[in-house]
């Protein structure tokens, strides 16, 4: 069975179609459907020639599936595939960002004020009052998206150049959802000391630092050191953005099943950046118990050699002192949260959970357990996928979090600010709207960034 068609593999095929057979266009769409593709558009470009020129746009599940769809179309008598255009690559041509001036430069007066000699007056003012840079320069609305490319999405350590398209996309999301001007800073080093020093040197330009796709455990050290040395917010989105959205979704999922956070046990698969941040936030918010697992099984008192965050998880989060495998952690658990890897669980493994279980299988693109089958057992299921209900998507958090922090002129993003963001995000959905397939708003819900930003501003230290 081919994978689920997605716009991430959207191809437009330019076809030459025999003009004397009116059945061929129907046969083209049928061939795509018979091979599990999705026809998204069919445009007759030129009907005055023979053969006609036709564009058909299809969604496939992966590159092999796209090739199979092309072969199926090509196999039709009277149809020739002239070429195919990958729409995902097309939207990346020349990058996804540009710099534009916010002031007109059409006269000598404009030049005199925006640049020399007038700009010198503003520079002198900033010498005396450097804090005014937040409203006299781009600093007040600008975030650096800093990465070393060592933990990119589901791709792993691909380096700073290959990471750049992701960072461009992140910057586009900042702008689209919260009006924040963000810029990729992809560093050709994995040395923690060097990354810290580079970011410290760049910091005067920015009002905030968003750390992105830096592998654990270095990400913990880098964030902590930068928070200590800088007077602007430092936020590792892979940790805290994920944790905020998970907490918001879990709050609403618990309302659906009629439970409270302080009475549930959570089985957590994954002790990397996201898993640790989720655990810390849930513990801070009073979760009944949380049993974290890594590749070696449950993090508990019986595990030797645990250090840093994993040692904290073993000591603070596993109050029952459990040991064993992930499946042992599931026994009696009310909630499963996976931020680990694909296919770790069989659907039947969920049967040992408590009744009305909640399953957040967030590994992307392939979840820890089949979400469709999981819905036959669990009361609420969420994933990281856009083609499934209840998508846990960081875009619900980071634009609003930084909007609020920048507006508050915050020097840090505190735990109360993160918790406030989660509550505001959860409250976007009214109680009478909640249902098992709607526990978290969609990424295009215009209420989200505004609500999160307001909550963060209100919770920021005065």
Q: Catalytic site residues?
A: 115, 170
**In sequence order, which ranges of 347-440 are alpha helices (DSSP H)?**
371-374, 398-407, 415-427
Separation of alpha carbons 228 and 389, rounded Å: 39
Residue 65's Cβ-side half-sphere holds a number of Cα atoms within 13 Å equal to: 23
Residue 24, token pair as written in the block: 């061929």
Q: Is the separation of the CB atoms in 325 and 293 below 8 Å?
A: yes
Q: How many residues are present in the chain?
A: 462
Q: Looking only at Cα atoms, what is the longest distance across the chain?
A: 79
Q: Is the separation of the CB atoms in 261 and 250 below 8 Å?
A: yes
Q: Which residue has the tokens 């007759």?
A: 44
Determine the 3-state secondary structure of 391 from DSSP: strand
Separation of alpha carbons 152 and 116, rounded Å: 42
> How do 38-46 and 79-86 pair as beta strands?
unpaired
Residue 62, token pair as written in the block: 């992966």
Determine the 3-state secondary structure of 161 from DSSP: helix
Q: Which residues contact 30 (CB under 8 A, 6 or more apart)?
A: none
Nearest CA to 276 out of 232, 324, 320, 314 is that of 314
Give helix then strand counts, H and E, for the chain: 17, 14
Cα dihedral 442, 444, 445, 450 sign:
positive
**In sequence order, which ranges of 270-351 are alpha helices (DSSP H)?**
273-284, 308-312, 326-330
Residue 92, token pair as written in the block: 């990346």
Q: Which residues contact 385 (CB under 8 A, 6 or more apart)?
A: 364, 365, 367, 371, 391
Show the beta-strand stretches assigned E in 87-239: 142-147, 181-186, 208-211, 234-236
Q: Which residues contact 115 (CB under 8 A, 6 or more apart)?
A: none
Nearest CA to 144 out of 176, 173, 184 is that of 184
Q: Is the separation of the CB atoms in 114 and 103 below 8 Å?
A: yes
């Amino acid at each position: 069975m081919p994978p689920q068609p997605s716009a991430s593999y959207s191809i437009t095929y330019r076809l030459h179609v025999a003009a004397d057979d009116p059945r061929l266009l129907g046969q083209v769409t049928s061939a795509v459907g018979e091979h599990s593709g999705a026809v998204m558009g069919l445009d007759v470009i030129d009907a005055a020639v023979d053969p006609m020129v036709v564009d058909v746009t299809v969604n496939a599940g992966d590159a092999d599936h796209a090739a199979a769809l092309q072969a199926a179309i090509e196999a039709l008598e009277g149809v020739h595939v002239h070429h195919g255009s990958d729409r995902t690559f097309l939207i990346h041509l020349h990058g996804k960002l540009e710099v534009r001036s916010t002031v007109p430069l059409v006269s000598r007066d404009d030049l005199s004020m925006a640049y020399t000699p007038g700009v010198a007056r503003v520079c002198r003012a900033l010498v005396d009052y450097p804090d005014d840079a937040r409203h006299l320069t781009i600093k007040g609305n600008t975030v650096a998206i800093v990465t070393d490319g060592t933990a990119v999405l589901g791709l792993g350590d691909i380096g700073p150049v290959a990471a750049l398209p992701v960072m461009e996309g992140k910057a586009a999301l900042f702008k689209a959802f919260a009006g924040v001007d963000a810029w990729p800073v992809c560093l050709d080093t994995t040395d923690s000391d060097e990354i810290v020093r580079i970011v410290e040197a760049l910091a005067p330009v920015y009002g905030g630092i968003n750390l992105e796709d830096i592998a654990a455990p270095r990400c913990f050290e880098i964030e902590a050191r930068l928070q200590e040395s800088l007077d602007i917010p430092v936020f590792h989105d892979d940790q805290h953005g994920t944790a905020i959205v998970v907490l918001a979704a879990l709050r609403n999922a618990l309302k659906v099943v009629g439970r409270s956070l302080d009475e549930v046990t959570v089985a957590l698969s994954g002790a990397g950046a996201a898993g640790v941040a989720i655990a810390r936030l849930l513990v801070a918010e009073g979760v009944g118990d949380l049993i974290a697992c890594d590749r070696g099984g449950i993090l508990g008192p019986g595990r030797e050699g645990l250090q840093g965050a994993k040692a904290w998880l073993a000591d603070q989060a596993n109050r029952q002192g459990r040991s064993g495998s992930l499946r042992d952690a599931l026994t009696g658990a009310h909630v499963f949260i996976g931020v680990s890897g694909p296919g770790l669980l069989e659907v039947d493994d969920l049967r040992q959970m408590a009744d009305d279980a909640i399953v957040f299988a967030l590994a992307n693109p392939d979840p820890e357990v089949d979400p469709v089958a999981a819905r036959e057992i669990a009361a609420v299921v969420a994933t990281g996928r856009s083609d499934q209900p209840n998508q846990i998507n960081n875009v619900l958090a980071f634009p609003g979090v930084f909007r609020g922090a920048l507006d508050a002129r915050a020097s840090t993003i505190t735990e109360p600010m993160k918790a406030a963001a989660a509550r505001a995000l959860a409250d976007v959905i009214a109680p009478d709207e909640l249902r098992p397939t709607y526990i978290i708003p969609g990424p295009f819900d215009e209420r989200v960034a505004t609500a999160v930003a307001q909550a963060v501003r209100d919770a920021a230290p005065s």
